[in-house]
Amino acid sequence: MTGPATRPLLFLDVDGPLNPYAAKPTRRPEGYQTHRMLLASMAQPHRPSYHRRRPLRVWLNPDHGPSLLALPYDLVWATTWTDEANEWIAPRLGLPELPVVQWPRPRQDGPGGVFWKTATLVEWAAGRPFAWVDDDVTDADVAWVAAHHGGPALVHRVDPKHGLRAGDFAALASWAGVMS
């Protein structure tokens, strides 16, 4: 058994893994429900969505909440939704309020195409084992994490056409099993 203090973190992106935004717009992926969300942050002039006041269409799969909670990880939001993930996403998936990673500005990718989220997540983990699901990670992030993170890590890309699928959950469960 893995005790609470030693469970790895699971950094969760929203758009891609939970909201398969790249799926064919005319066909909602199987198992998903459509939500329309008008976020408070969309009314802030510095946001790209400021001039687009229409609600966001978000697809969510209600099975994802229980499946994530069944994994032996401590879940953490690692998304540009930041605190709005707790407000808009967590309740619709049956997730509790989760810790939220806050991002520095500007959001600029690092040398060699390292994703702008990567260094912040490594810092947040502070040596603790972590897995990270995101649609925007590449081999550059895998290499950067390997070079800079003091503990084990799994950087796992999720296809934004499909969102998290059984194979992704299996990979996460399997990696956590190796960690315990």
Residue 168 in the binding site for Mg ion (CB under 5 A): no
Contact 131, 9 (CB under 8 A): yes
Which span sits near Mg ion by CB under 5 A: 9-17, 43-51, 102-110, 163-171? Answer: 9-17
Q: What is the closest distance, in whole angstroms, from the C-beta atom of residue 1 to Mg ion in the complex?
A: 32
Q: What is the closest distance, in whole angstroms, from the C-beta atom of residue 99 to Mg ion in the complex?
A: 18
Q: Which 95-154 residues touch Mg ion, going by CB under 5 A?
A: 135
Burial 54-85 (b: 16+ CB within 10 A, else e): eebebbbbeebbebbeebbbebbbbbebbebb
Residue number of the CB atom closest to Mg ion: 16
Q: What is the closest distance, in whole angstroms, from the C-beta atom of residue 83 to Mg ion in the complex?
A: 17
83 or 177: CB nearest Mg ion: 83
Q: What is the closest distance, in whole angstroms, from the C-beta atom of residue 21 to Mg ion in the complex?
A: 8
Ramachandran assignment for 84, one of left (phi > 0), alpha (psi -120 to 50 degrees), beta (any other) = alpha
Residue 13 in the binding site for Mg ion (CB under 5 A): yes
119 or 151: CB nearest Mg ion: 119
From residue 118, give the alpha-carbon distance in Å to each of 16, 33, 46, 99, 101: 16, 30, 23, 17, 11
Residue 16, token pair as written in the block: 């891609």
Look-up: residue for tokens 């229980």? 66
Contact 154, 71 (CB under 8 A): no
How many residues bind Mg ion, per CB under 5 A?
4
The residue within the footprint of Mg ion, chosen from 9, 12, 15, 81 (CB under 5 A), is 15
Residue 16 in the binding site for Mg ion (CB under 5 A): yes
Which span sits near Mg ion by CB under 5 A: 15-23, 26-34, 55-63, 106-114? Answer: 15-23
Residue 20 in the binding site for Mg ion (CB under 5 A): no
Query: Alpha-carbon torsion 20, 37, 90, 61, what sign?
Result: negative
Neighbours of 86 (CB within 10 A): 17
Interacting residue ranges for Mg ion, rule: CB under 5 A: 13, 15-16, 135
